[in-house]
C-alpha cells in the first residue's frame, strides 16, 4: 500500500513539473494566436518558404505573423493573411516583400512603410508586393549563363 502512495506522489510531482514547463514555454515562445491587431492580406506570385506562423517584420523588428495562405482560383496568385500588432500603423502605400533570413534560414515577410497619411485598416489589402526569390534558380542561371559565353 505504501508503494502505491509513493508512486502516486511521484506521478503528481512529474505532472506538476510538466504543466509548469508547458506554461513557461508557451509564454516564452511569443506565440501569436491571431487575435487582436489588424488583419491584412497581400497577393504574391511566389511564396516559397513562407509558412503560417512566419514572422512579419518592419525594420528588422517583429510586428506580426502570417496567419493564413491560400491560392486565388481566378488569378492563381498566393493570398497571404497577416496579423499586425495593435501598436503598428501601416500607411496604405506600404509594400510587402518575402525575404530570406539567411542562406540556410527560413523566410519572413518584410514590410516597408509608405509615405501616405492614410493608414491601412482591418481587412485591407497591401497592393505593392514582391514574391520570394529562389536562390537555387539564381545560382543555376549564373552557372549556365557563364557556360554559354565560352
- Residue 141 has a pLDDT of 82
Cα–Cα dist 126/142, whole Å: 32
Using only C-alpha atoms, the chain has a radius of gyration, in whole angstroms, of: 22
User: Is the CB of residue 56 less than 8 Å from the CB of residue 82?
Assistant: yes
pTM listed for this prediction: 0.69
pLDDT at 89 over 80: yes
- Residue 1 has a pLDDT of 63
pLDDT at 4 over 90: no
* SS3 of residue 61 by DSSP: strand
- Residue 135 has a pLDDT of 73
- Residue 131 has a pLDDT of 85
Query: What cell does 18 get?
Result: 510538466
Cα–Cα dist 106/49, whole Å: 6
- Chain mean pLDDT for the chain: 87
Cα–Cα dist 85/108, whole Å: 16
Polymer length of the chain: 150
Question: Cα–Cα distances in Å, from 131 out to 17, 97, 99, 107?
Answer: 44, 6, 8, 11
- Residue 24 has a pLDDT of 85
CB atoms under 10 Å from CB of 132, counted, come to: 19
- H or E, element range at 97: strand 95-100
pLDDT at 97 over 80: yes
Question: Cα–Cα distances in Å, from 2 out to 7, 8, 14, 15, 74?
Answer: 9, 10, 19, 20, 70
For the segment 112-122, what is each residue's pLDDT rounded down to a tens digit? 999 999 999 99
Of the pLDDT bands very low, low, confident and very high (cuts 50, 70, 90), residue 133 is confident
Looking at per-residue confidence, does 133 or 34 come out higher? 133
- Residue 95 has a pLDDT of 95
For the segment 25-67, what is each residue's pLDDT rounded down to a tens digit? 877 775 555 557 899 999 999 898 889 999 999 999 999 999 9
pLDDT at 96 over 60: yes
Amino acid at each position: 500500500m505504501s508503494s502505491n502512495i509513493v508512486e502516486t506522489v511521484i506521478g503528481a510531482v512529474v505532472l506538476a513539473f510538466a504543466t509548469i514547463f508547458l506554461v513557461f514555454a508557451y509564454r516564452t515562445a511569443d506565440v501569436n494566436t491571431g487575435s487582436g491587431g489588424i488583419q491584412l492580406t497581400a497577393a504574391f506570385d511566389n511564396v516559397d518558404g513562407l509558412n503560417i506562423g512566419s514572422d512579419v517584420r518592419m525594420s528588422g523588428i517583429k510586428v506580426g505573423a502570417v496567419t493564413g495562405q491560400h491560392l486565388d482560383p481566378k488569378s492563381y496568385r498566393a493570398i497571404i493573411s497577416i496579423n499586425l500588432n495593435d501598436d503598428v500603423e501601416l500607411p496604405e502605400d506600404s509594400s510587402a516583400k518575402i525575404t530570406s533570413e539567411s542562406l540556410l534560414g527560413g523566410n519572413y515577410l518584410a514590410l516597408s512603410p509608405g509615405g501616405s497619411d492614410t493608414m491601412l485598416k482591418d481587412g485591407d489589402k497591401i497592393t505593392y508586393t514582391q514574391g520570394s526569390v529562389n536562390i537555387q534558380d539564381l545560382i543555376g542561371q549564373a552557372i549556365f549563363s557563364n557556360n554559354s559565353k565560352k
